[in-house]
């Protein structure tokens, strides 16, 4: 096999890419299905239909560049697309209820992107983040391949297993970033526990590891999903108007009238 460098979008067409995409599709779909609001945005990775099961009326897919033949208008359940810099989104502050980041923070300026997400989210808005875990067998194999390339031994190794990334962002560091920006982590879930095999058949044979790994060694999954909510100090959600206690003026008027009648009778006596 050749030592060809491929991007994330092309890597998703490989057996490990299909395995990862299926897990993330299921996890993200379940996480956003019951999130309510009006405006939702996915930053990058069109192969993941992350907002497909979300019921917000306004949904967008943001991309940084247009690939040949990529549909901009909404098609086949995909939201309409817009081309933008992820660190300078064309939305007003506190205008979005949900932002999905599928492997978005692993390339480019992760700090600037996350700060921009915090700006556009409303109070109590959610951010859903997917990424590769640096504590997995997949990450170990990718690190070994990078070392071989640095030593000029790339021609002696097998093809690249993971797409090139600026950094593998661990959940512990991601938690720190989110906390500094005022987010509260609601859910952390790990998955994809199969070793770094290369065929669909082997992934199917090793499917039992997903059930075992989720119970016994969760942090060793190849991927993770984090759900966090934006907290604003001093902000308080108001209840519905119909929950207020009505003022019972009718009974007060009746009681007052009865008292006046009683006083009148005493005077007449």
Q: Sketch out the chain's domains with CATH numbers.
A: 8-268 (3.40.50.150)
Residue 126 pairs in a beta bridge with 98, 229
For residue 255, give every residue at least 6 positions away whose Cβ sits within 8 Å of its Cβ, in sequence order, or none: none
247: left (phi over 0), alpha (psi -120 to 50) or beta: beta
Query: What is the distance between the alpha carbons of residues 69 and 9, in angstroms, rounded to a whole number?
Result: 14
Q: How many CB atoms lie within 10 A of CB 43?
A: 25
pLDDT tens, residue order, the chain (269 aa): 333 445 788 889 889 999 999 999 999 999 999 999 999 999 999 999 999 999 999 999 999 877 655 555 555 456 778 999 999 999 999 999 999 999 999 888 899 999 999 999 999 999 999 999 988 888 887 776 666 566 565 554 555 677 766 578 899 999 999 999 999 999 999 999 998 888 889 889 988 988 888 888 888 899 999 999 999 876 555 554 445 555 554 444 454 555 566 655 555 55
* Number of separate helices (H) and strands (E) present in the chain: 8, 7
- Rounded to 5 degrees, φ, ψ at 184 are -120, 120
- Rounded to 5 degrees, φ, ψ at 136 are -110, 170
């Amino acid at each position: 096999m050749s030592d060809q460098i491929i991007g994330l979008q092309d890597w998703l067409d490989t057996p490990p890419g299909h395995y990862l995409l299926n897990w993330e599709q299921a996890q993200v779909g379940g996480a956003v299905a019951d999130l309510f609001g009006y405006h939702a945005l996915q930053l990058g990775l069109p192969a993941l239909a992350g907002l497909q099961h979300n019921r917000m009326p306004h949904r967008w897919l943001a991309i940084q560049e247009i690939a040949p033949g990529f549909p901009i208008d909404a098609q086949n359940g995909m939201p309409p697309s817009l081309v933008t810099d992820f660190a300078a989104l064309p939305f007003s502050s506190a205008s979005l209820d949900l932002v999905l980041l599928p492997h978005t923070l692993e390339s480019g300026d992760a700090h600037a992107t996350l700060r921009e997400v915090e700006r556009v989210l409303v109070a109590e808005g959610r951010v859903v983040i997917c990424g590769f875990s640096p504590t997995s067998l997949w990450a170990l194999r990718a690190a070994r391949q990078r070392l071989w390339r640095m030593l000029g031994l790339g021609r002696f190794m097998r093809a690249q297993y993971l797409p090139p990334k600026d950094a593998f962002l661990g959940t512990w560091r991601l938690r720190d970033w989110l906390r500094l920006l005022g987010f509260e982590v609601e859910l952390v879930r790990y998955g994809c526990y199969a070793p770094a095999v290369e065929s669909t058949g082997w992934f199917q044979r090793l499917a039992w590891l997903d059930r075992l790994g989720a119970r016994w060694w969760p942090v060793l999954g190849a991927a993770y999903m984090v759900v966090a909510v934006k907290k604003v100090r001093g902000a308080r959600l108001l209840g519905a108007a119909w929950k207020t206690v009505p003022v019972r003026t009718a009974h007060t008027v009746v009681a007052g009238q009865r008292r006046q009648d009683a006083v009148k009778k005493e005077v007449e006596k």
